[in-house]
Amino acid sequence: MKHDEFWTWFDSEAAPKLALREISFRKVFSYLDSLDGPLTIVETGCARAQGNWAGDGQSSVLFDRYLRASPEGSTGFAIDLDPQATTLCKTLVSERIAVLTGDSVAVLIDVAGQLKAAGRSIDLLYLDSYDVDWTNTTPSAVHHLKELVSIVGALRADTMVVVDDAPSTCRVVGNANSQFDMISLPAIGGKGTYVAEYAKQIGATPMFSHYQAGWTGMVR
Ligand SMILES: C[S@@+](CC[C@H](N)C(=O)[O-])C[C@H]1O[C@@H](n2cnc3c(N)ncnc32)[C@H](O)[C@@H]1O
């Protein structure tokens, strides 16, 4: 019932500003609606600027809203290397989200340990840290694969894993009509390049591929 309040807010306040991420955030929250009990959301790369909806996504604000509309005990973790970002983020979210400062690859191991000790696991893992350089995506893409490695012990088969800034790329050639012919299938790129390769290799279930990409079945 309380999720109705979230969707009313999402449709009126967030969706009109989310641009490329609207379609996939809708899919994320619709998926979470289908899960029972207190929810756990873990994200890397917190909201670092108030009101930057189209540029960054305001993920922490969205997750906080959703958790506040979820059953008692629903909680989140937001991890960021930059103390200025975490200080700002703390002003944007409620006590439902623990905002942690540090390198995500290391901090996620601690978060996995805390969750295990509490008998909990993750419903949504959202990876959006190390900014991607679109002329050399490898350092960011490797970092996001390392994040997955650090937290994999806290995932379930039905955990949704989402990577931001992961549009697909393909090779194209110009044809005689001044249009482009695709000469390769689109492959998820950006921050999601190696997470997508791993997901494909283990037979994870692709849930969507837009500007953000999402899977379930990252563990069996
Ligand atoms: C694109 S922003 C996150 C935007 C946020 N998800 C939103 O929707 O508003 C990326 C963030 O990742 C952080 N970051 C970069 N490297 C990191 C690392 N190694 N560990 C944790 N955070 C990192 C940056 O400080 C930055 O705040």
Question: How many A from CA of 1 to the centre of ligand 1?
Answer: 32
Q: Which domain holds residue 197?
A: 2-216
DSSP E strands, 92-178: 97-101, 122-127, 155-163, 168-169, 172-174
Q: Which residue has 């807010």 as its token pair?
A: 9
The pLDDT score that the predictor gives to residue 31 is 98
Distance CA 211, CA 188 (A): 9
Question: What is the atom index within ligand 1 of the atom nearest the CA of 59?
Answer: 8
Q: What is the CATH number of the domain that holds 182?
A: 3.40.50.150
Question: How many A from CA of 175 to the centre of ligand 1?
Answer: 40
The pLDDT score that the predictor gives to residue 1 is 52
Nearest CA to ligand 1 atom 18: 103
Our answer on whether the CB atom of 17 is closer than 6 Å to any ligand 1 atom is no
Distance CA 171, CA 32 (A): 35
Residue pLDDT, tens place only, 102-132? 999 999 999 999 999 999 999 999 999 999 9
What's the total number of domains in the chain?
Answer: 1
pLDDT in tens, the chain (220 residues): 579 999 999 999 999 999 999 999 999 999 999 999 899 999 999 999 999 999 999 999 999 999 999 999 999 999 999 999 999 999 999 999 999 999 999 999 999 999 999 999 999 999 999 999 999 999 999 999 999 999 999 999 999 999 999 999 999 999 999 999 999 999 999 999 999 999 999 999 999 999 999 999 999 9
Our answer on whether the CB atom of 79 is closer than 6 Å to any ligand 1 atom is yes
Distance CA 38, CA 35 (A): 9
CB 43 within 8 A of CB 63: yes
Our answer on whether the CB atom of 129 is closer than 6 Å to any ligand 1 atom is yes
Q: Quick one: CA dihedral 157, 163, 167, 170, positive or negative?
A: negative
Our answer on whether the CB atom of 190 is closer than 6 Å to any ligand 1 atom is no
Our answer on whether the CB atom of 130 is closer than 6 Å to any ligand 1 atom is yes
Question: How many A from CA of 86 to the centre of ligand 1?
Answer: 10
Nearest CA to ligand 1 atom 3: 45
Our answer on whether the CB atom of 212 is closer than 6 Å to any ligand 1 atom is no
Nearest CA to ligand 1 atom 17: 130
DSSP letter at 20 equals: G
What is the model's pTM?
0.98
Our answer on whether the CB atom of 47 is closer than 6 Å to any ligand 1 atom is yes
Partners of 76 in beta bridges? 41, 97
